[in-house]
Amino acid sequence: MYLHAWRIRAQLQLTPLEAMRTQVSLLDHLAMAFIGLLSTALARTMPDRYVGFVGYIYFLVPLYFTIAHSIAGRREQQLQ
């Protein structure tokens, strides 16, 4: 949905702030998909005795949101 909105942002006449928020939401969803796929790939390729450690990959989620949304917050303040 966000990808479609991003592609037709000119047609939707999104303001720069709305376009930035759409882009951030799109990147959020892509990052969550990437982290899930990374976890799956590691779980399938690691030796059985280390598979339990794959769950620690999900600590990337709060790390991603902290960094990405602090950057987005600064960009949003500049646009307002």
Per-residue pLDDT tens digits for 9-68: 899 999 999 999 999 999 999 999 999 999 999 999 999 999 889 999 999 999 999 999
Looking at residue 80, the DSSP 8-state letter turns out to be -
pTM of the model: 0.83
**Other C-beta atoms within 10 Å of 67: how many?**
10
Is residue 2 pLDDT above 90, yes or no? no
Contacts with 39 (C-beta within 8 Å, 6 or more apart), sequence order: 54, 55, 57, 58
Dig out the tokens for 57 from the structure: 């990959």
Domain limits for position 70 = 2-79
User: Confidence band (pLDDT; 50, 70, 90) for 1?
Assistant: confident
Structural domains counted in the chain:
1
Contact 32, 61 (CB under 8 A): yes
